[in-house]
Amino acid sequence: MQLHNHQLEGIHYLSSPNFDSRPGKEISLIVIHAISLPVGNYDTELICDLFTNQLDIKKDPSFSGLSELKVSSHLLITRTGQLIQFVPFNLRAWHAGVSNYNGRENCNDFSIGIELEGCDFDKFTEEQYSRLNECLQLLIHEYSIPRFNIVGHSDIAPGRKTDPGPYFDWNKISV
């Protein structure tokens, strides 16, 4: 796996409109998320639709609150370990929302967001952990991110977010 112009080479790239420029801050944090639409349903296409503002909210009653939502992530790792990139790493993806890490507000400004296809009620797959570790090693090296700056969404938005959830096994992170 290699980077070229802040994008992973040889993977599917699906451009999200939900990004902007970073405010001159170095990338120093990686935030791990979990997403499924609806919760517990693993339909990668629906996640891609959400991140590209094409989600048909009529497909499920739980989508009604998502009609005006503008979110993205840098990467999505599917249940089979497939990687999809939505935003180049040098740009600010809209993944963290209201957030704080060690007294620094607005984590989107200085973080990379990695979504795992999953939820609070299921274990993640070995393929996901393998691919995640591969990505983490590359990103840590490329952007000089300290290993202890790999956190969950729940760590930067406690009380508001629970992902990656209780079934995410932090012991399987091997960087």
| AA identity, residue 108 | N
3-class SS of residue 153: helix
Task: Give dist(CA 137, CA 140) in Å, integer.
Answer: 5
60 φ, ψ (degrees, to nearest 5): -155, 140
Active site residue 45: no
The catalytically annotated residue of 9, 45, 115, 117 is 115
What is the four-CA torsion angle of 14, 16, 21, 26, rounded to 10 degrees?
A: -50
Query: Which 3 state secondary structure label does DSSP give 34?
Result: strand
Q: Which residues are catalytic?
A: 115
